[in-house]
């Protein structure tokens, strides 16, 4: 299975010209790499233009998605809007949205369902805070977020077999992001294993085995190798390093070397 590397540009860059230059630089590298799947997630204001221009060259994703298809929801971006713009993925439940915008598990649940029903590939983010980590509550937090975020999804998968590969889970140890307390590959793999065990309870076994679990926590070209060689980690959700074209190029090049079909 190809490694999946998702570039979350967050609220960067400041101008479309900069966004186009960054996308072009990443494309120059990604076109040479056949064994890694790369997704770019620019801010919404640049997303439609970039995806329409480059959708045949690289996959694009939204940094969020709303749960309704249309209506009086100021600022909302619907799944159909993303699909019609050539966007394939949507990040859902990112730790920064949970923390700064008070996004709840119930909201995340509705977004996951809306994304999947409309044919988007949902990237569900889960992870524990520093307080929860210190208390040894990692497993409980991951299980809660997965159970609430994916409630009812089993029936959706059974009814729509085409959704088989449309769910990805990203483990974000919030306590390790920008704090100077890095997560270790071994510990991240344990968390990824917990996620996969929970997925097997929530979904048909064949589907749960094929869902990719990403690591997202201050990923750089210096530490990505250690995470990607772990058996339960299938890729990475990259934040700050993704807006440095040279650094991100190194990350996807390493992922390309490490990709293999672990299900064969």
- Listed residue (259, 173, 250, 261) closest to 218, CA to CA: 173
Catalytic residue among 54, 94, 109, 133: 94
Q: How many CB atoms lie within 10 A of CB 44?
A: 16
The whole-angstrom distance between residue 231's C-alpha and the CA centroid of its chain comes to 18
- Residues 37 and 3: their CA atoms lie apart, in Å, by 6
Residue 165: count other Cβ atoms within 10 Å of its Cβ: 12
**Catalytic status, residue 94:** yes
Parallel/antiparallel/unpaired status of strands 212-215 and 235-238: parallel
At 67, list the tokens: 């749960």
d(CA 259, CA 256): 5
CA distances from 160 to 6, 90, 166 (A): 25, 19, 11
Catalytic residue among 37, 103, 128, 172: 172
* Residue 113 annotated as catalytic: no
Structure letter (DSSP) for residue 185? H
Active centre residues (catalytic): 94, 172
């Amino acid at each position: 299975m190809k490694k999946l590397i998702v570039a979350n540009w967050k609220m960067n860059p400041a101008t479309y010209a900069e966004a186009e230059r960054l996308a072009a630089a990443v494309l120059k590298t990604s076109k040479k790499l056949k064994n890694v799947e790369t997704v770019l997630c620019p801010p919404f204001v640049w997303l439609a233009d970039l995806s329409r221009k480059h959708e045949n060259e690289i996959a694009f994703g939204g940094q969020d998605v709303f749960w309704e298809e249309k209506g009086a929801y100021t600022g909302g971006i619907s799944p159909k809007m993303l699909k019609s713009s050539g966007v394939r993925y949507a990040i859902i439940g990112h730790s920064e949205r949970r923390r700064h915008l008070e996004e709840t598990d119930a909201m995340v649940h509705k977004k996951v369902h809306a994304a999947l029903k409309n044919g988007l590939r949902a990237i569900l983010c889960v992870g524990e805070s520093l307080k929860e980590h210190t208390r040894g509550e990692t497993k409980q937090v991951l299980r809660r977020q997965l159970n609430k975020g994916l409630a009812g999804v089993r029936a959706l998968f059974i009814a729509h077999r085409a959704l088989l590969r449309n769910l990805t889970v990203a483990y974000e140890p919030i306590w390790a992001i920008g704090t100077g307390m890095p997560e270790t590959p071994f510990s991240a793999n344990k968390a990824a294993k917990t996620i996969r065990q929970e997925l097997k309870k929530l979904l048909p076994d064949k589907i749960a085995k094929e869902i990719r679990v990403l690591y997202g926590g201050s990923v750089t070209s210096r530490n990505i190798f250690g995470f990607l060689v772990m058996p339960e980690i299938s890729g990475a959700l990259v934040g700050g390093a993704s807006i440095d074209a040279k650094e991100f190029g190194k990350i996807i090049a390493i992922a390309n070397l490490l990709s293999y079909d672990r299900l064969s």
